[in-house]
Structure 1
């Protein structure tokens, strides 16, 4: 291990011990498979609801029910995130991580057995509990275990691999889409959710091998109130940090879940029109479209992987606040540009990865910045509050997009384009919060 005075000569990863790498690997896998479960839902949402409603369902009803199920999932995500965030401070990071993995894999698997939109929504709500809890305990664990200089890079790596989870989901969609196209299976969505249940054994590894951080044990031994909402919102410093962090997260979550991930609904008609012009129809059209929707997800998240890591280095070169400002402006501009101008498969090949780069860069910021805002006794609770209360408010995003599409811009050609561009104004909320945000670059974690 290099001495304190010489650390700048070494790459950050050379400061990590074997156990540091183990903790980082477990946190990466927990969050990667979590995001895989999230993205499988995005890919399977419309086909699942269309099949569950039956052949008589109109496109408008399918869209409405898809927005409802998405919002239910986001509310479950927010509530579960807050609950598991508190547990992460009270019973420990490792124990809570195990519970979240079991929760999101179990209810992703049970989604296979859905027979109506109601029980499909119920399974997604319960899956959301586990999905929401994983982020806060994972980043709190990594932030407290790895050395200070390595912390932002390690946290950036955790978040970057969330894009890999999304890409695993996309590859699953491509393979299953090919099976639909060949007639091997009739539809793919149930198999997607079955794939999302496969990482459940990771919970056993967490239970057997992962230790609680020394900082957590020290805070507990000092008889401090662990995971107290009264302290989080009652003490002025932590209350301000909570509100600022929540507003930052709200802007990015609406941008991604209320706009970015609904861009598949923009891509699908572009793809279908292109394939119909080639004389493709019927089952082959459905299968080829599913394959290309998977390709667009790969492109979006490939861009996102580099976007997260781009934020990591930008935040070290500038600082946390300036990096957020650049990222919010870039996300707003590129998302609006994509919704307005994407008209062909050629456009998809460069617009989609650029949009993913800009949108997911913000999430690198959340992984690095939010744990730096709170002391050990409140780190999981505070991080979860920011990320998940922001998400709870953001649950209105899909409904707002649907309202704009069906009502406000109803008479316009391709109303989703107008709605998406209008929704991009949400990134201004993040910019407005930045003057009130503390700068944390180069500072130790609060105790």
Structure 2
């Protein structure tokens, strides 16, 4: 199928699992925050003080995650070019699995912050290793399809996080909200087992192995030489726009859905378990819509990139991202209807990420592929970290404030359109050795 050998499918599946669990571990906090934050701060669940603290700390934790993600992406991208793709994939998966599972045992908010930083370093480092490994293993003419398929793991990871939270906090331990979030974090340990399986079946790509024998060791400074600067700028700017838009909107799906559900429950005269059940159901609905849109949007990057080219593909997705954000958050929709519009946000804001798994590796030669792709894809998270923090800070005024701020996030992809002259077209270009 698709002209891949059994081993090439194995490599793709290994990287797919690594990236899917990467997203899974990265976003678990967003789902448990309404119970986790008040418990660690000794605030009554559901109280106005708890809601405000949850909004604030969701922004802080998301921003810190992005900063750690950026650092891990740059560091492990460089390590990936030095010790190999497979070894780096194993190390990063173990790091984020152990860091996430450790969050189950924290006793205060600062311990949680520390373990989230540990997990973030591994989460950031995994992507460059997986993307480079796939790009260097599959046939040249199938690199776009492989890259887009690799990114479908992101909706899988997001759905898995939603499912685990719903099953653990909403079914198994729904009567123990002060403790249920700890069991959710323990599921973050699952990728550790997967990492060892990956190590048994996947070897280093031959393309990298040949270069590693003779080529000079990569240096981060090489990305800014006159020969490479245009490529680095192109990858960085496109990733930056996508990251700011995605994190500003996605990080607050559980918070927005929870706020809308509580308001609806109050209007219906519901309380207690009925309200908690509606909150879990609405979070699941919003995430499913966002995920389903993201899955379709990811796959649509294949024909868009192959037939229109990378530059036009990015332009189309930036326009669609702006329109979807304005429609979803700029019109006074009924609460549950607004959640369905997350499909459009996923289709565009989420979908564009399907291109980075093949576009960024195309920009750099083999000896710099992990370093360059890791830098471009991850250093933008330093700037993207401002988004969740600002949204979280403003959202402490209430759910309506969060919706209003998310409307203005729609202007970020419009800025991306202004950057199109700097985008380097790579359609039809073979990977550089």
Please state which band the TM-score falls in when normalised by the shorter chain.
Answer: over 0.9
Question: Equivalents in 2 of 1:263, 1:29: separation in Å?
Answer: 23
Mark the CA change 1:345 to 1:420 in structure 2 (over 3 Å): closer, same or farther: closer
TM-score by length of 2: 0.94
- Which of 178, 184, 199 is residue 207 of structure 1 equivalent to? 199
Q: SS of the counterpart of 1:218? A: helix
Match of 2:279 in 1: 289
Match of 1:9 in 2: none
Question: Equivalents in 1 of 2:381, 2:82: separation in Å?
Answer: 23
Mark the CA change 1:342 to 1:109 in structure 2 (over 3 Å): closer, same or farther: farther
- Which of 224, 232, 248 is residue 233 of structure 1 equivalent to? 224
The alpha-carbon deviation at position 298 of structure 1 amounts to 1.9
Confirm or deny: 8 A CA contact 1:324 1:362 kept in the other structure. Answer: yes
Match of 2:166 in 1: 174
Match of 1:387 in 2: 377
CA deviations over 1:243-292 (Å, ceiling 9, x no partner): 22111111111111122332432222221122233332123312331232
Q: Which has the larger displacement, 362-371 or 394-403? A: 394-403
Q: Following superposition of structure 1 onto structure 2, how do residues 157-196 of structure 1 map, counting pairs within 5 Å? A: 157-179=149-171, 183=175, 186-196=178-188
Which runs of no fewer than 5 residues in structure 2 stay unpaired?
Answer: none
Q: Which has the larger displacement, 328-337 or 172-181? A: 172-181
Confirm or deny: 8 A CA contact 1:177 1:288 kept in the other structure. Answer: no
Question: Equivalents in 1 of 2:62, 2:205: separation in Å?
Answer: 35
Question: Equivalents in 2 of 1:279, 1:373: separation in Å?
Answer: 57
Mark the CA change 1:285 to 1:404 in structure 2 (over 3 Å): closer, same or farther: closer
The alpha-carbon deviation at position 444 of structure 1 amounts to 0.1
- Which of 310, 322, 344 is residue 300 of structure 2 equivalent to? 310
Match of 2:31 in 1: 43
TM-score by length of 1: 0.91
Q: SS of the counterpart of 1:279? A: coil
Confirm or deny: 8 A CA contact 1:342 1:351 kept in the other structure. Answer: no
Which runs of no fewer than 5 residues in structure 1 stay unpaired?
Answer: 1-12
After superposing on structure 2, the runs of 4+ consecutive aligned residues of structure 1 that deviate more than 6 Å are: none
Question: Equivalents in 2 of 1:22, 1:181: separation in Å?
Answer: 37
Q: Which has the larger displacement, 329-338 or 272-281? A: 272-281
Match of 2:4 in 1: 16
Q: Following superposition of structure 1 onto structure 2, how do residues 244-255 of structure 1 map, counting pairs within 5 Å? A: 244-255=234-245
Confirm or deny: 8 A CA contact 1:181 1:286 kept in the other structure. Answer: no
Q: Following superposition of structure 1 onto structure 2, how do residues 264-283 of structure 1 map, counting pairs within 5 Å? A: 264-283=254-273
Question: Equivalents in 2 of 1:233, 1:333: separation in Å?
Answer: 34
Q: SS of the counterpart of 2:411? A: helix
Match of 1:445 in 2: 431
- Which of 137, 142, 151 is residue 145 of structure 1 equivalent to? 137
Mark the CA change 1:310 to 1:342 in structure 2 (over 3 Å): closer, same or farther: farther
Match of 1:427 in 2: 413
Question: Equivalents in 2 of 1:203, 1:346: separation in Å?
Answer: 39
Mark the CA change 1:438 to 1:332 in structure 2 (over 3 Å): closer, same or farther: same
Q: Which has the larger displacement, 338-347 or 116-125? A: 338-347
Q: SS of the counterpart of 1:237? A: coil
Confirm or deny: 8 A CA contact 2:256 2:399 kept in the other structure. Answer: no
Match of 2:366 in 1: 376
Q: SS of the counterpart of 1:197? A: helix
Mark the CA change 1:415 to 1:116 in structure 2 (over 3 Å): closer, same or farther: same
Q: Which has the larger displacement, 61-70 or 246-255? A: 61-70
Confirm or deny: 8 A CA contact 1:148 1:444 kept in the other structure. Answer: yes
Q: SS of the counterpart of 2:140? A: coil
Q: Following superposition of structure 1 onto structure 2, how do residues 74-223 of structure 1 map, counting pairs within 5 Å? A: 74-179=66-171, 183=175, 186-222=178-214
Question: Equivalents in 2 of 1:180, 1:21: separation in Å?
Answer: 36
Question: Equivalents in 1 of 2:399, 2:190: separation in Å?
Answer: 43
Confirm or deny: 8 A CA contact 2:63 2:388 kept in the other structure. Answer: yes
Match of 2:353 in 1: 363
Question: Equivalents in 1 of 2:303, 2:340: separation in Å?
Answer: 23
- Which of 432, 436, 444 is residue 422 of structure 2 equivalent to? 436
Mark the CA change 1:342 to 1:374 in structure 2 (over 3 Å): closer, same or farther: farther
Mark the CA change 1:192 to 1:343 in structure 2 (over 3 Å): closer, same or farther: farther
* Count of paired positions: 429
CA deviations over 1:420-445 (Å, ceiling 9, x no partner): 11222221332222211111011101
Q: Confirm or deny that 1:60 pairs with 2:46.
A: no
